[in-house]
Amino acid sequence: MLALTLTSSGREPVKFAKNVPMKITKSASSQDKTSLKKLYVKSYGCQMNAYDAARMADVLAPEGFEETRHIEDADLVVLNTCHIRERASEKVFSELGLVRKVKEARASQGRETMIAVAGCVAQAEGKEIFRRNPSVDLVVGPQSYHRLPQLLAQARSQGRAIDTEFPVEDKFAHLTPASSARTRARGLSAFVTVQEGCDKFCTFCVVPYTRGAEMSRSYEQISAEVTRLVRDGVREITLLGQNVNAWHGLDANGQPAGLADLLFRLSQIEGIDRLRYTTSHPNDMNDALIAAHGHLPKLMPFLHLPVQSGSDRILAAMNRNHTVQDYIDSIAAIRAARPDIALSSDFIVGFPGETEADFQSTLALIEKIGFASTFFFKYSPRPGTPGADLTDQVPESVKADRLARLAALVEAQRHAFNESMTGRTMDVLFEKAGRHSGQIVGKSPYLQPVQVEAGADLIGTVQSVEITGCSTNSLFGRLAGPQPGSSGQNIMEECA
């Protein structure tokens, strides 16, 4: 049993997390599929939210909903919210003001619109959302979106519905798989959530409160989902988790196993070309997982490993439970296992108590490691987290100045990394036609878009490409070997 209370933005405490079993029943609407209804989902935040948004659309498809990109056409609007960013709740309420206007405009034409708020803000704010915006019909937390059909039915019959519980049933066991057509429409790369929740309790983070304790899906469930995706044309799978490298399950012999074993077994599914995983915690980069980077060619040589700060004092205040040297040692071991690996990370600037000396240590760590890309944020207190109660908050002007300096350094590293690609030959997974006739676009092992002059018949294949140049966000190249029906012509000779 998990029972937590989070004080939200100075408003009433929001209670959540009682394990209450709920029978899954077929909703009334599922029996009436005579007309297709339009669904508009807007998803914020991380890849896990993007995955959840797709699964919500899958759950609602048998109820007669098809997705639209036009909110004014939508019979159901879902805002799949994120609580990580600063003033996340306020931004959601501001967005809801706009959605409410759409609802009123449609009502004046005699058309009904239902509004659902999902995701981490729904979990944290709960009933407060109804109070602040009465046009909302439904509030559903991240652990309950498999119940959307019955919650919609409840909202219709009772005026509104809310579910922010942490249910005892496994939501993944109740989710509707995407149809083959929907999977194909989503492209060659797919996310698969394998782990949810977090037990680490970093002092700046709301995830342990909004997503609950760490939980791993079983190998059988993951394997079945991946097999279905590959059957429907997916070539690249990214395993997702708030703490993905904390994944644990059983190996083929029924013995305890970790993410390395999961990656090995998934790599044997015929048709998979590429595997990735994100997001990881440094403390869960165990020896087996590091070794997997050296042994598994299908595991792409690109790892996102957040460190947040280069100061031991700040890492301790963040409750990260590792030191800067621990991180450096892990990176050295990973690079020894896979010398061509590239790294990305997250940094928080201006955590309470951060001095200029602490910040200089962060810059020194970035210089020492050399990242291919980096995400960086100004610290902002999240209600209900220990960091929000710390008194030595850093002034906004100081945070802004540090952020600018850090941004300049990591942008220079990113550009240098892209430039270092020129002259290299690498495998590219071609995904779609380019903007110009005769051009196709793929993805490098390091997630960079790669543009090549070649025939569309190569879309959906992995080809060897010689990189000839780069711009701010893309690489350019030519096919490294003769290809039937392809010119192999250079489209750019040097980096912009």
SS3 for 375?
Answer: strand
H or E element: which one contains 406?
helix 396-420
Cα(464)–Cα(477) distance, rounded to whole angstroms? Answer: 10
Cα(454)–Cα(458) distance, rounded to whole angstroms? Answer: 7
Q: How far is the CB of 443 from ligand SF4 (least distance, A)?
A: 26
- Which one, 38 or 281, has the nearer CB to ligand SF4? 281
- Which one, 205 or 479, has the nearer CB to ligand SF4? 205
Q: Name the β-bridge partners of 215.
A: 196
Q: How far is the CB of 242 from ligand SF4 (least distance, A)?
A: 4
Cα(258)–Cα(251) distance, rounded to whole angstroms? Answer: 8
Q: How far is the CB of 345 from ligand SF4 (least distance, A)?
A: 12
Token pair listed for 297: 């060619």
Token pair listed for 489: 């012509």
Q: How far is the CB of 279 from ligand SF4 (least distance, A)?
A: 7
H or E element: which one contains 365?
helix 356-369
Cα(353)–Cα(365) distance, rounded to whole angstroms? Answer: 19
Which residue in this structure is represented by tokens 């933005």?
9
- Which one, 99 or 202, has the nearer CB to ligand SF4? 202
Distance in angstroms between the alpha carbons of the first and the last residue of the chain = 56
Q: How far is the CB of 243 from ligand SF4 (least distance, A)?
A: 5
Q: How far is the CB of 4 from ligand SF4 (least distance, A)?
A: 13
Please report, for the chain, how many H helices and E strands are present, in that order: 14, 23
- Which one, 321 or 487, has the nearer CB to ligand SF4? 321
Cα(256)–Cα(249) distance, rounded to whole angstroms? Answer: 6
H or E element: which one contains 466?
strand 462-470
Q: How far is the CB of 260 from ligand SF4 (least distance, A)?
A: 19
Task: Looking at 45-118, list the stretches that DSSP marks H as alpha helix, in order from N- to C-terminal side.
Answer: 47-60, 88-108
Cα(262)–Cα(427) distance, rounded to whole angstroms? Answer: 24
- Which one, 135 or 321, has the nearer CB to ligand SF4? 321
Q: How far is the CB of 330 from ligand SF4 (least distance, A)?
A: 15
Q: Can you say how many angstroms the Cα of residue 261 is from the centroid of all Cα atoms in its chain?
A: 22
Residue 394: C-alpha distances to residues 141, 212, 315, 347 (Å): 32, 29, 16, 15
- Which one, 198 or 495, has the nearer CB to ligand SF4? 198
Q: How many CA atoms lie within 13 A of 120 on its CB side?
A: 29
- Which one, 60 or 205, has the nearer CB to ligand SF4? 205
- Which one, 8 or 267, has the nearer CB to ligand SF4? 8
Instruction: Confirm if 207 and 198 have CB atoms less than 8 A apart.
Output: yes
Q: How far is the CB of 206 from ligand SF4 (least distance, A)?
A: 8
Q: How far is the CB of 264 from ligand SF4 (least distance, A)?
A: 24
Q: Can you say how many angstroms the Cα of residue 65 is from the centroid of all Cα atoms in its chain?
A: 24
- Which one, 213 or 224, has the nearer CB to ligand SF4? 213
Taking Cα atoms as reference points, which of 201, 274, 276 lies closest to residue 244? 276
- Which one, 143 or 150, has the nearer CB to ligand SF4? 143
Binding site for ligand SF4 (CB under 6 A): 198, 200-202, 205, 207-208, 242-243, 281
Q: How far is the CB of 201 from ligand SF4 (least distance, A)?
A: 6
- Which one, 208 or 384, has the nearer CB to ligand SF4? 208
